[in-house]
Amino acid sequence: MFIVNVEGAIYKNKKWLLIRRSEKEEHAGGSLSLVGGKVEKEGTSSDILEKTLIREIAEEVGIEVSNLRYVNSSSFVTDSGINVVDIVFLCDHESGEAFAKSPDEVDDVIWMTTQQILNNSNLPIYLKGNIKLAEKLVNNNTVVIS
């Protein structure tokens, strides 16, 4: 069995929203990551990944997102031996100002450019990879008028 986790790559004003995970978090406490969380049991449900991500983003950082697009999926094992499937979506910022709304999960919110993320030696390689993939989607959707 796997835990299913979803994360949002939220891009606004040429920066990505990262959170500093609460030190209270069992997995990766104190580290920088995308916003997201675990899929909860809902019985029969459609768009469960998207609904979960929209809910988690609102609960953790107080903003609304829309237009979710698939970026990447991966699997990993937590320090405590739990198998996780992780799905990342690119999200449009719809409304609200991000803040650390859920102190049990989020210590801080940080907006960083792609280059700041890629040049930060303290950030994990998988986060950098997800940002690179999300950036490609952002650039593919950009219309250049000359």
- pLDDT tens sequence across 79-130: 889 999 999 999 999 999 999 988 778 889 999 999 999 999 999 899 999 9
Question: Could you tell me if 102 and 35 are in contact, meaning their C-beta atoms sit under 8 angstroms apart?
Answer: no
d(Cα 115, Cα 135) in Å, to the nearest integer? 11
Residue 64 CB coordination number (10 Å) = 13
**Backbone phi and psi for residue 143, each to the nearest 5 degrees, phi listed first:** -100, 125
CA-CA distance, 109 to 119, in Å (whole number)?
19
**Average pLDDT of span 68-79:** 92
Any idea what DSSP says for residue 56? H
Please tell me the distance from the alpha carbon of residue 142 to that of residue 75, in angstroms, as a whole number.
Answer: 30
pLDDT higher for 44 or 110?
Answer: 110
Over residues 45-72, the pLDDT tens digits come to: 789 999 999 999 999 999 999 999 999 9
Q: What is the pLDDT of residue 146?
A: 43
pLDDT category, 1, cuts 50, 70, 90?
confident
User: How far is the C-alpha of 25 from the C-alpha of 38, rounded, in Å?
Assistant: 13
**What kind of architecture, by CATH, is found in domain 3-140?**
Alpha-Beta Complex (3.90)
Could you tell me which residue, 90 or 23, shows the higher pLDDT? Answer: 90
Of the pLDDT bands very low, low, confident and very high (cuts 50, 70, 90), residue 28 is low
